Amino acid sequence: MSLQKIKEILEADYGCEEHADGPHAILVLEDGTKCEVSEKWIAENGIEEGKCLPESLYNIIQK
């Protein structure tokens, strides 16, 4: 697994879903992988569209 570019960040919370860790978003990677993470996690890790997601973070979100 090499670095994956973040193609898109989508809103995951539609309507009244609530999560203990706050609002969620869906990361869409260049290879088509999609995963749901908290917006707090995105901010803490400096995640932005067009940036590469390091393998260490990719492994965390795949668990």
The per-residue pLDDT for 26 is: 93
How many domains are contained in the chain? 1
CA of 21: how far to CAs of 13, 24, 32, 39, 56, in Å? 12, 8, 25, 9, 21
E-only strand ranges, 1-63:
4-11, 24-29, 34-38, 52-53
Strands 34-38 and 4-11: unpaired
The predicted-structure confidence for 1-58, as pLDDT tens digits, reads as follows 568 899 999 988 666 567 677 789 999 999 898 988 999 999 999 999 999 988 778 7
- The boundaries of the domain holding residue 33 are 4-61
> Is pTM, for the whole model, over 0.95?
no
Higher pLDDT, 59 or 50: 50
